[in-house]
Structure 1
């Protein structure tokens, strides 16, 4: 094969390295797949700031997808964000999918691979350069790349698809290709030596309730009731082995929020306590349930956070943070919000998403663990207030003014609506009422019509977490150079789950078909391979958004069951493997003997760690877009409800819900 088909590719050009032109190999692998490798044989080392290959489609796409944003010509998609890497464009009849040849990426190279997607100029780019991180987290090309003498290879696969196959679900063929070529083999090799997941559960609970108990477990009285829960966040300096002065990173607090959900973790502790006959664990889980019920409802709405004030003081000559005691506690809401980003918890607006998630967990507890009419009553009171918030189009607002409950303007029409759909469907299942079903159907209909087709996956995390890029100007608008919204996979998850639950409720395959499309878009943020230049295992783990750097983010423990549910419903082995890989990845960042590579990285970063720290687990890896052999990328804290406790809960929930099915139909025994 000498050239790319001109019905798809108008122009294809590539640079030399120095004066050396590449030898080009083009091979037709099947009817729709071409493999290209460019090989340079360098007689001497060459310094060259940038090398790139540019492909111009022979049509004008109206759809563009890439794994990361490149808002200006300075920016590139560094290989750090190659989780399921591809560039995808299509019009009404043709689709091009460009997938880097991951076999050719080496562990150490001065010039890093990158991609770029220039929608206005209709260019797909694969290149090599040095890069640096700018903002949080974008990548820019910098000068200084060099190539050693010898053989340099870079390559890609090109999938060229006719008709609507690519347009209906632009990600399915890419995901299948990535998993068939890399993920399946790496997953199959890993699962044979995978340790029993219940060992990680024991580490998590020993860490929280034995070795770090003085820091983690909080038990106190509120309004005449005993309540308790693991603390929101524990800093590495609070280790019993830390040689210096402990420091509290944020307010001592307990959260029932979309990320950090004490009530979710409590369900894992309850399941494990019952299974093991451990009455103390059951007692702790019930105190966590009581804490959720203690949150004061006003007109059906309720706060997400109970917290103490944080003060600075000097200890042994060092300024550190210390929280006041629980006798001075107050209720508030997540400070990850647009009204006052990272401001005061006490003044934060109510977040509808957080309330719907907590109310859904109350229903699941009541239905699956132990009947408690108080949980049902609390959820019904909230549901009636929620339904009254629905606007004429069907959306539920994101935030409510703390005093008046008036909806804030920002993200009034967002995919955060989808989580409220799942809550209302569960309530309708337990307490059949047409108003809940009708509200859920109206809400999902508008998300299907306005959010899914355009990829407008904007939620609180997209702009009001650690990545503030575009916070002021981008909500509701695409990044022009990529023809893409800034996107977060959390809202993809809520929507895929809502579509799945609506399908299970109605039996209508339209919801399942669209749900699979959204699930696949979410799976494009999952690691479909193990890069050689990362120092912990990442296969199956998730990133967060198209403007961030995380691998192995804690959300994978939340996503795993939904992937498996789709796999079982569709009898799709790839989804079963991806769901199992996500569940396994949920424990990879844990410091313990079972994770040899991770343990080495933790000890590089914190040499004082020992067996009393087993179970410590950062929520992700490579958060800032850079990793190295010395432990950079390992982080500094554990959030029990978005890390080790969340992973333990996911395993125990999946074991209860799907354990027998996974064993009998697919041969994966997690029931131990």
Structure 2
């Protein structure tokens, strides 16, 4: 009995000490904070308690700082602060997944960092004070979101990569003598428009406080004129690296067709001292990521503008290649590759047609199913070519034939399936009601605009309503890249399921983009402001994945660049070139200068990873990793930065390959398209101050 009593006393003392090891700060809150926050709890750092200060920025924003005067070095693996909302949220958002209590959102993914929760009447956002992080700081910052416990967490800890790419805490943090300052902003909202679009206020806050200031200085490039980068791209692809990059063959009509190869790595450089190697199978793609037709349309625009007939012929051969992909009841393949061996710089003698192997079923392109998304994107590009570049009737006929097959696959709700079996043409198991449908909406509305046939518009708007009803409210931004690219976390058990601890789906911004694009097209066709309002909300969610500052731990310029998903780590991803004009379009229609600046910054960021003398900082990073690089390699450009989750001043974070259609060729296409649509003057808008 006595032993039992002692044990109970010990347990009581342990629990008492644990509870009071966290300080609860419930006094001196500004009134606006009291209405939204039940408690803020924070730990001591070693035995040192912080000095806590609250500063009212405006009626909806409060700045909180915690400071410590450290006399002796403190070794502490983890320090955290917990914020408990006063209300029960039904909506949660964070920039990265933390599926367990061991996971954290490290500063490496702080592009526009925030934690957001909302109910039907209140919204609360927590934003790390990145002005403090931008200075010398001994520890790494992190965030965390625990939805079941209704906790928003900020902290300090080292991190390590577990999955590709999620992070967990790591031991080893320490704090040297001196003053240490940590801070964050509390942003509150009760107005209905703010709750309906939880991203607008945050995006405005980030851009006004950080993004615009860097943009006005000309970042992320050293110059406003992007023409030199385009010249480097085409000189690299069609001259210095031509034998490795340009691939061609005769189609079944005896015409020479071709396009730049899917991917080349650094070993293909004319300056590489060893034997070259292939990173992936030799092929050419017309897919939602890697689209030779998209790149060729940009090359066509450039050749037309500069009078370069040689480049024009390359563009036309790629158009012919797209028309050479065989159709089956309208559906068509997205990949072509050589059969057997071939010599570098020589034509392929025999080819196969297949599909993207980024799918749930097989890694073989020859066995992969038809992907509706890929076909709708390619058919849309055909219509754009027909409308803006050449009235080649074959492009319209090809797209219409596909559309007739597509309409037959729409389900009762309005969705189009994900993949079709190449033999039976029946829908397969995955993503049959996903936001990939949005790309088909944009395609069908473009076809309606060209042909005037109402059936395309009717089908598209039915699909758009399904997206509005079932995808946007819950943030179910799932597409092929979310699960079946390099970040495969959740592909076995999370498809169509939320991560319980975060009350969020694994999300990819590619499908957010397609949806914002489809909503804008729906608005333009119908002039129904509902589509514009949903479109702006969706665009603002997309912009939460855009970099709005220059972290000290990023060793290349990153302003305006985009990340990818809430379970990956790259910055400056090539998708920003695709996103750029859409952001500009919303800026035009909504008369919102912030969007215009963000769109231009995104386009500039599309070139910021290029190896060339105009990018001195980036060039130094390339040469730190690949000492053999020289002028023949100007134009080489990795698709992103920090892909594996780490960076360093010695070149860690720099990749090893170029995908022309998802890198330099894609960036050049976006530039040439925007020049045609808006004029070069728009892109010279930043002040480039020194």
Using the size of structure 1 for normalisation, the TM-score is 0.96
Displacement of 1:195? 4.2
Label 1:442 to 1:412 Cα distance change in 2 as closer, same or farther (>3 A): same
Q: Tell me the residue number matched to 1:267.
A: 297
**Counterparts of residues 44-83 of structure 1 (less than 5 Å):** 44-83=72-111
Q: In 2, distance between residues paired with 1:389 and 1:549?
A: 35
Match of 1:178 among 200, 206, 214: 206
Matched, 1:100 2:120: no
Displacement of 1:432? 1.0
Label 1:467 to 1:667 Cα distance change in 2 as closer, same or farther (>3 A): closer
The answer to whether the Cα contact below 8 Å between 2:248 and 2:347 also exists between their aligned partners in 1 is no
Label 1:669 to 1:388 Cα distance change in 2 as closer, same or farther (>3 A): farther
SS class of match (2:449): helix
Q: Tell me the residue number matched to 1:362.
A: 382
The answer to whether the Cα contact below 8 Å between 2:69 and 2:180 also exists between their aligned partners in 1 is yes
Q: Tell me the residue number matched to 1:2.
A: 28
Matched, 1:570 2:594: no
Matched, 1:396 2:419: no
Q: In 1, distance between residues paired with 2:481 and 2:407?
A: 24
Q: In 2, distance between residues paired with 1:375 and 1:669?
A: 42
Matched, 1:197 2:226: yes
Match of 2:236 among 207, 219, 223: 207
Match of 1:155 among 167, 183, 187: 183
Match of 1:298 among 292, 303, 328: 328
SS class of match (1:422): helix
Matched, 1:136 2:158: no
Match of 2:272 among 238, 242, 261: 242
Label 1:668 to 1:33 Cα distance change in 2 as closer, same or farther (>3 A): closer
The answer to whether the Cα contact below 8 Å between 1:618 and 1:635 also exists between their aligned partners in 2 is yes
Task: Name which one, 1 or 2, has greater alpha-carbon Rg.
Answer: 2
Q: Tell me the residue number matched to 1:450.
A: 470
Match of 1:222 among 251, 255, 261: 251
Q: In 1, distance between residues paired with 2:198 and 2:509?
A: 16
**Counterparts of residues 6-21 of structure 1 (less than 5 Å):** 6-21=34-49
SS class of match (2:336): strand
Higher deviation after alignment, 388-397 or 193-202: 193-202
Q: In 1, distance between residues paired with 2:647 and 2:340?
A: 31
**Deviation string for 1:195-235 (max 9, x for gaps)?**
41011000000000111111001122121221011111011
Match of 2:350 among 287, 308, 328: 328
Q: Tell me the residue number matched to 1:232.
A: 262
Structure 2 residues not aligned, in runs of 5+: 1-26
Q: Tell me the residue number matched to 2:195.
A: 167
Count of residues paired in the alignment: 658
Q: In 1, distance between residues paired with 2:302 and 2:601?
A: 22
**Deviation string for 1:385-441 (max 9, x for gaps)?**
000110111000010001111001211000000000000000001111111011001
Q: In 1, distance between residues paired with 2:345 and 2:92?
A: 48
Displacement of 1:248? 1.1
Match of 2:550 among 526, 530, 549: 530
Matched, 1:307 2:337: yes
Displacement of 1:161? 1.2
Matched, 1:122 2:150: yes
Displacement of 1:662? 3.1
SS class of match (1:190): coil
Q: In 1, distance between residues paired with 2:243 and 2:345?
A: 14
The answer to whether the Cα contact below 8 Å between 1:336 and 1:464 also exists between their aligned partners in 2 is yes
Q: In 1, distance between residues paired with 2:686 and 2:411?
A: 45
Q: Tell me the residue number matched to 1:318.
A: none
**Deviation string for 1:2-38 (max 9, x for gaps)?**
2253321111111111111111111011111100110
Q: Tell me the residue number matched to 1:600.
A: 620
Match of 1:428 among 445, 448, 452: 448
Q: Tell me the residue number matched to 1:407.
A: 427
SS class of match (1:345): coil
**Deviation string for 1:568-605 (max 9, x for gaps)?**
11110000010010000000000001111100100011
Matched, 1:643 2:671: no
Q: Tell me the residue number matched to 2:21.
A: none
Higher deviation after alignment, 480-489 or 166-175: 166-175
The answer to whether the Cα contact below 8 Å between 1:308 and 1:324 also exists between their aligned partners in 2 is no
Q: Tell me the residue number matched to 1:278.
A: 308
**Deviation string for 1:165-200 (max 9, x for gaps)?**
332000110110011110110110125952410110
Matched, 1:501 2:507: no
**Deviation string for 1:49-87 (max 9, x for gaps)?**
001110000110000010000000000000011001000
Label 1:661 to 1:562 Cα distance change in 2 as closer, same or farther (>3 A): farther
The answer to whether the Cα contact below 8 Å between 2:218 and 2:686 also exists between their aligned partners in 1 is no
Q: In 1, distance between residues paired with 2:332 and 2:85?
A: 52
